[in-house]
Amino acid sequence: MDQRERVGFIGLGIMGRGMARNILKAGFPLRVWNRTASRMDELAAEGAGPASSPGDLAFHSDIIITCVSDTPDVEQVLLGEGGVIHGARPGSLVIDMSTISPRATQRIAAHLAERHIHMLDAPVSGGSEGAARGTLSIMVGGDVTQFERALPVFQAMGTTITHLGPIGAGQTTKLVNQILVVGHALAMSEALLFAQAGGVDLRKALEAVSGGAAGSWMLSNRGPQILARDWRPGFTIDLQQKDLRLVLQEADRLGVPLPGTALIHQLYRTLQARGLGHEGNHALIKALENLAGIEIGVWDEGG
């Protein structure tokens, strides 16, 4: 890919801000658009060009990236009034880095193909930390030639970049990722609650198990946050629930039983009912604390 290709980025939320900034740092000419316009100001001050609409952004871009919340949001910015499809020129490449339905991804790609616009689905994992540091895992579906064209842009945002197959394969793999993420979150929550009830020093217990066979990204990155009662999100409960809804819908279509994932979905629902949907997905432990009548707390030194 010629690095002079212009990149447009739509969606400057908790993930998109860091991703767009890393594209800019890599030297790509960048144009940005966000529904809440004030979110464009920071990147505009760093050299990005603000767009007036998704269609305007697409008209001035060769590669258009979307990173928004849910399937209807992607459909709106790509296909809706003032959307990318109305501004993009034939030969342009759309890369959707949101997490949405694999079936919807295939439908959107078909609409864009009618205008000779290419599409890749490229959802990501790694949390807000990975977005900021440029260390995301990027799961890509679509034509391999377009994947190779986009690779320098992906390399600005991530370190594990995998082409998984035809359009929709990236989204399916992201749902695989989310099954594992929430499973790790539940295991971590149960383990820390058990440690608390058993009278173990939680800091020492976390240190003891993190480097062994029980270790995981979730445990190393979110375990310390739980001990500090720090519920700031790398990924919110509300967004996690959206992804689990997609997982369970697709599992229903495929006829695959996912009893553990369904249970976690219901546990998160209890937290949403308490108004905690804005907290990080590691706050899953609060649902178990509520069941047990125990709250995780770190001992004082020498306690």
pLDDT in tens, 244-276: 999 999 999 999 999 999 999 999 999 999 999
**Integer angstrom CA distances of residue 54 from 35, 79, 91, 98, 173:** 9, 10, 17, 15, 27
Residue 116 has pLDDT above 80, yes or no: yes
Give catalytic status of residue 25 as yes or no: no
Task: State the pLDDT at residue 49.
Answer: 97
Residue 2 has pLDDT above 50, yes or no: no
pLDDT in tens, 164-188: 999 999 999 999 999 999 999 999 9
pTM of the model: 0.92
Catalytic residue among 174, 204, 242, 286: 174
| Sequence-separated (6 or more) residues with CB below 8 Å from residue 107 | none
Task: State the pLDDT at residue 3.
Answer: 53
Task: State the pLDDT at residue 303.
Answer: 40
Task: State the pLDDT at residue 4.
Answer: 73
Task: State the pLDDT at residue 302.
Answer: 43
Task: State the pLDDT at residue 299.
Answer: 54
**Measured on CA atoms in the order 186, 190, 195, 196, is the torsion positive or negative?**
positive
**Integer angstrom CA distances of residue 197 from 55, 194, 216, 221, 231:** 56, 5, 22, 22, 21
pLDDT in tens, 56-107: 999 999 999 999 999 999 999 999 999 999 999 999 999 999 999 999 999 9
